[in-house]
Amino acid sequence: MSMQKRRERERAEREKLIVTAARELAETEGWDAVTTRRLAAEIEYSQPVLYSHFKSKDAIMVAVAVEGCAELAEELRAARTAVTGGAREALAAVAAAYTAFARRRPALYDAMFTHRVDLPFATPEAPVALQEAFAELLAAVQPITARTDDPGLLTETYWACLHGLTTLIRNGRLPEKTHTQRLELLIGHFAAGVE
């Protein structure tokens, strides 16, 4: 292995270590606990080394958000493709997978969709992982789209509903015990007339 490739590999490994440490710290103590000083101590590198990879905590959150979107895309794809029924069942499976992901990884979800991060959403410049996550939502919504509907806008509305339900439950505004019924209502209205 050439010296250049080894350095690139080591750099990528350090970046992964920083992102993993940030995620773990955020999940256990919240994003306020994630500081460059704390991360440097956690990974046993100096702050200048950390800054050589990420210019700020926000840049770390962007990396976390992109990684999270890749994981979300995988989970949504697995849920959607595991369905043996029709479009309605696929839409329901994706809804359940989305909300389960958000509940299982609250700090990651916050980095992806709640905290302000410098990521372009809904543009061609969006990172591939963001596009793939949205594409999985679109793949579930498109089969139930009427000919007069815009599939992208309908998917954004579906996503907004899932995000809203997730956020309201997490913040104690809606009771968790009726979450399944809410998802059933949502799918029922989105997929009205679809098998």
- Listing DSSP states for 129-170 in one string gives HHHHHHHHHHHHHGGG--TTS-HHHHHHHHHHHHHHHHHHHH
**In the predicted model, what is the mean pLDDT of residues 160-179?**
96
**In the predicted model, what is the mean pLDDT of residues 120-143?**
94
**Contacts (Cβ under 8 Å, ≥6 apart) of 104:** none
**In the predicted model, what is the mean pLDDT of residues 106-112?**
96
Rounded to whole angstroms, how far apart are CA atoms 106 and 31? 10
- Where residue 4 falls among pLDDT bands split at 50, 70, 90? confident
**Count of CB atoms within 10 A of residue 26's CB?**
23
pLDDT at 1 over 70: no
Helix locations, the chain, DSSP H: 3-29, 36-43, 47-53, 57-82, 87-104, 106-109, 128-141, 151-170, 179-190
What is residue 70's three-state secondary structure?
Answer: helix
Confidence at residue 77, expressed as pLDDT on a 0 to 100 scale = 98
pLDDT at 193 over 80: no
Q: At 48, list the tokens.
A: 């200048």
Question: Which range has the worst mean pLDDT, 4-13, 56-65, 127-136, 165-174?
Answer: 4-13
**In the predicted model, what is the mean pLDDT of residues 142-146?**
92
- Per-residue pLDDT reduced to its tens digit, 45-77: 999 999 999 999 999 999 999 999 999 999 999
pLDDT at 35 over 70: yes
pLDDT at 98 over 70: yes
pTM as predicted = 0.93
pLDDT at 194 over 80: no
